Amino acid sequence: MASVTRTARVAQVRDHHRSYGDTAVLQGVDLDIAGGEFVALLGRSGSGKSTLLRSLAGLDASPASEVQVDGRTSVSFQEPRLLPWRRVTENVGLALLSTARPEERARRAATALGEVGLTEKGEEWPLSLSGGQAQRVSLARALVSEPDLLLLDEPFSALDALTRIEMHRLVLQLWARHEPAVLLVTHDVDEALMLADRVLVLDEGRLAHEWTLPTPRHARTPTHPHLSEVREQVLAALGVQTVDQKAAGAA
């Protein structure tokens, strides 16, 4: 199964433009995402990362000639966006509202909650959860519908460092189990290098740079030679000066 889904293309973006008022945000983005592929999208604040994600999510209408997604999408946002007036299980089940009967919804929602380790929180109200727990519920809700493309909009940036590490592991685990294509929008270079098959940098409204990471994830350490090389290149593409460059500039 895995080899079949990985060959199919899930999303295709061609010469995509978008502007807010007079500000052009996306100026001709081209992007293909293959089935089951994990793509990280980096960029400085205001570079249009989230705008591209919104186009793929169908939140901002785009012409079919520019943005085309085959299959089901789902989104997990920076804030979990759980409906506070629906219990945790019901929140997860919302993703199945049009596709499954109530009993099946409850069963699949419970399974999804189990996958994120929150079986016992099913009957709680979302406002009683911690930030990390709520974000895990949000992930369960995004995955319970078995999406072909999972869009993650900086989902870990509001979490503390330790919770974030746990979430990274959980996301990889869930990705391996459900095999959706993933587009992770983030401003965290190390996060991108830990998780993704492919890293993209959005600059001046275009996807200017791209790195493929063949290293298996268990071997990805901060000292890995290829990764640390890519890390420097990504930081440079983002316009971050390294210590050496700063020293050279000062001299």
Partner 1 sequence: MSALAPPRAATVRESTGANRTGPSPGRRRRRTPPLSWLRRWVSPLAIVVVWQLLSNAGVIPEQKLASPLQILATARDLVADGTLGSETVVSLQRVGLGFAIGASAGVALAVLAGLSRLGEDAVDPPMQMLRTLPHFGLIPLFIVWLGIGEAPKIALIALGVAFPLYLNTFAGIRSIDRRFLEAARTLHLNRRQRLRHVVVPGAVPQALVGLRQSLGVAWLSLIVAETVSASSGLGYLINHAREFLQTDVIVVGLAVYSILGLVTDAIVRALERKALAWRP
- Helices then strands, counting H and E runs in the chain, come out as 9, 9
Among residues 24, 34, 59, 235, the one that binds partner 1 under rule CB under 8 A: 59
Q: Are 37 and 213 in contact (CB under 8 A)?
A: no
Q: Which of these, 12, 57, 22, lies nearest to 152 by C-alpha position?
A: 57
8-state DSSP, 120: G
94 binds partner 1 (CB under 8 A): yes
238 binds partner 1 (CB under 8 A): no
36 binds partner 1 (CB under 8 A): no
- For the bound state, the minimum distance from the C-beta of residue 141 to partner 1, rounded and expressed in Å, comes to 7
85 binds partner 1 (CB under 8 A): yes
- For the bound state, the minimum distance from the C-beta of residue 97 to partner 1, rounded and expressed in Å, comes to 6
74 binds partner 1 (CB under 8 A): yes
Among residues 34, 44, 79, 165, the one that binds partner 1 under rule CB under 8 A: 79
What contacts 15, CB < 8 A, 6 or more positions away? 28, 29, 30, 66
Q: How many residues bind to partner 1 according to rule CB under 8 A?
A: 25
- For the bound state, the minimum distance from the C-beta of residue 27 to partner 1, rounded and expressed in Å, comes to 25
Among residues 98, 162, 216, 251, the one that binds partner 1 under rule CB under 8 A: 98
Q: Please, which of residues 103-142 interact with partner 1 by CB under 8 A?
A: 125-128, 141
Using the rule CB under 8 A, give the single segment among 92-100, 166-174, 192-200, 215-223 that binds partner 1.
Answer: 92-100
Q: Is the dihedral of CA 165, 171, 172, 173 positive or negative?
A: positive
Q: Tell how strand 149-153 and strand 9-20 pair up.
A: unpaired
For residues 138 and 88, what is the distance between their CA atoms, to the nearest angstrom?
A: 10
Among residues 32, 70, 97, 240, the one that binds partner 1 under rule CB under 8 A: 97
DSSP 183-212: EEE-S-HHHHHHH-SEEEEEETTEEEEEEE
Tokens, residue 33: 């995402």
Closer to partner 1 at the Cβ: 94 or 165? 94
Using CB under 8 A, list all residues that contact partner 1.
57-59, 72-75, 77, 79, 81, 83-86, 94-95, 97-98, 125-128, 141, 145, 151
